[in-house]
Structures are given as C-alpha cells and as structure tokens.
C-alpha cells in the first residue's frame, strides 16, 4: 500500500499526532515508538519537524519510513528526547508492561518534554487479558488490551506526567480513540 492510501485510510487515527507538537517549544529529537509511529515519520517531516528522529520497535513501518527520512533505530527507550510519540502502541501491553513503559518514557524525556500516545478507549476498566481483534493499521489480527482513559491518566500521573491535552475521536474500528499529550 502506498503512503497516500495508507494515510487516507488511517487519518482519523493520527489526526492529533502533529498538533500536539505545539505543546512544547523544544523539538530537537523525537522517539517514535511502535510500527504505527514509525510509519508516521514522513508525516512528522512534512509538518516541519526538523530534529533528529529515532525509532523503537518500528517493524515494517521503520523499514518503509527509512526510504523518506533519516530515522535511526534504537534498541531501548533511553537517552534524552524532546518528544516521544507512541500512537496506537499501549494496547498491545498488559497492565504491568504499561507501567514500566510509562516509567521508561518519563525517564527518557528531557525536562519539559512531551509524550504523545493514543489508544482505543474502553467504556469501563477491562480486567481481561488481551483480545484478538482486527488490526487497524494492517490486514492481519492483533492482540489488544483495552484501557479506559481513567486507567491511563492515573498511571501517567502516578509516574509524574502532567496533562497537556486530551482529545477524543469517534472512529470506525472502535467507539472512541483517545489522544493524550503528557508533559514531563
């Protein structure tokens, strides 16, 4: 699938992925977390992000994005980044993994840095493990854990993040998509 078709198909799932950059003045480096984020590398360049780009767990999205960006692959979430972007990533994690991930992202952000994430919103806290569902960014199926907005906000605030913005969208593959910009 070419990038224009992919962006049209998924535009509602990343519509806030660029506007959150206005919440921070520093834009020297960005860590893109997950395959969906890696696929957004050309989008970030197109809206004027001129800092250094890094990718963690990019999968096929990383390989595609290398063709049009100067993104560097990293094996761990560490270092000091101005921005970390992890859209449609946390729903692949269990609760214990989520807390560790949030701590890693908090530690890897420089002071005043911004952490962007988006996830399908569960109507109520979901105690079950992951569920096999149709993937929203590929043709296959994925295991997903549904988190409620309250779940994620409480975890993020316990780690030390403050809320910069919250957006909610109605989407085709689920009832709502939450987009959060969290500040260190």
DSSP string, 73-107: EESSS-S-EEEEEEET-GGGS-HHHHHHHHHHHHH
pTM of the model: 0.80
Q: Domain ranges in the chain? A: 3-183
Q: What is the pLDDT of residues 20-51, one digit of tens each?
A: 666 666 678 999 998 878 888 887 887 778 88
The pLDDT score that the predictor gives to residue 74 is 93
Which residues in the chain show pLDDT less than 50? none
How far apart CA 149 and CA 178 sit, in angstroms, is 7
CATH class of 3-183: alpha beta
């Amino acid at each position: 699938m070419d990038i224009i078709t992919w962006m049209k198909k998924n535009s509602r799932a990343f519509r806030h992925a660029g506007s959150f950059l206005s919440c921070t003045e520093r834009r020297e480096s960005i860590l893109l977390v997950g395959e969906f984020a890696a696929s957004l590398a050309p989008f970030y360049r197109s809206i004027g992000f001129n800092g250094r780009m890094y990718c963690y767990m990019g999968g096929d999205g990383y390989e595609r994005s290398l063709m049009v960006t100067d993104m560097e692959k990293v094996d761990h979430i560490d270092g000091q980044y101005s921005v970390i972007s992890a859209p449609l990533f946390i729903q692949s994690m269990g609760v214990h993994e989520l807390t560790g991930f949030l701590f890693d992202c908090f530690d890897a952000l420089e002071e005043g840095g911004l952490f962007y994430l988006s996830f399908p919103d569960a109507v109520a806290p979901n105690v079950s493990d992951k569920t096999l569902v149709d993937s929203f960014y590929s043709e296959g199926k994925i295991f997903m854990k549904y988190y409620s907005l309250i779940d994620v906000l409480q975890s993020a605030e316990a780690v030390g993040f403050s809320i910069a913005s919250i957006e909610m969208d109605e989407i085709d593959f689920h009832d709502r998509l939450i987009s959060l910009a969290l500040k260190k």
